[in-house]
């Protein structure tokens, strides 16, 4: 038996091993790529939720300053690009504050923007609040 006949089977084992290693590396790269894409998507949805909540807060502050009272409506519908699918709830309360001879109202606004349902893949919720004085 010559040496060439014995080495032919060895190249087949090397080729199969190389194919397995390359396949595992490719699968790992795809896994990392999809994880990064999902993380980027969640960060974008979270930022949009923050912007929707801040838009609702600005709307509520505008209503308080215009009417000198809490807004009658507690729902705000943002119309910006990517924000229209958020539901935004505005809550408001007021207290009278007396400083010396001056009494004025202080309004506390809390706004929550929500997308999707809790536990779903695309769920996002952000809450912002502010206090506004009419003086």
Task: Going from the first residue of the chain to its last (135 residues), give the mean pLDDT of each consecutive group of 10, the final group possibly shorter.
Answer: 59 82 83 72 88 93 90 82 88 92 93 89 91 81
The SS3 call for residue 54 is helix
pTM of the model: 0.70
Q: What is the phi/psi pair of residue 9, to 5°?
A: -70, -30
Measured between alpha carbons, how far is 72 from 17 in angstroms, rounded to an integer?
71
At residue 8, the pLDDT reads 60
pLDDT at 95: 93
Cα 104 from Cα 98, distance rounded (Å): 7
Residue 33's alpha-carbon distances to 37, 40, 44, 46, 62, in angstroms, are 6, 11, 17, 20, 44
Ranges of each domain in the chain? 3-133
| pLDDT given for residue 81 in this prediction | 76
Question: pLDDT at position 3, please?
Answer: 56
pLDDT of residue 5: 56
């Amino acid at each position: 038996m010559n040496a060439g006949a014995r080495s032919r089977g060895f190249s087949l084992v090397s080729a199969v091993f190389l194919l397995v290693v390359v396949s595992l590396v490719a699968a790992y790269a795809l896994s990392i790529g999809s994880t990064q894409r999902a993380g980027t998507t969640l960060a974008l949805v979270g930022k949009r939720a923050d912007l929707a909540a801040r838009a609702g807060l600005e709307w509520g502050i505008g209503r308080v300053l215009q009417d000198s009272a809490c807004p009658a409506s507690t729902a705000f519908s943002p119309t910006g690009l990517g924000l229209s699918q958020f539901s935004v709830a505005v809550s408001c309360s007021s207290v009278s504050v007396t400083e010396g001879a001056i009494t004025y109202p202080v309004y506390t606004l809390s706004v929550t923007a929500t997308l999707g349902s809790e536990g779903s893949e695309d769920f996002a919720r952000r809450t912002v609040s502010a206090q506004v004085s009419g003086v």
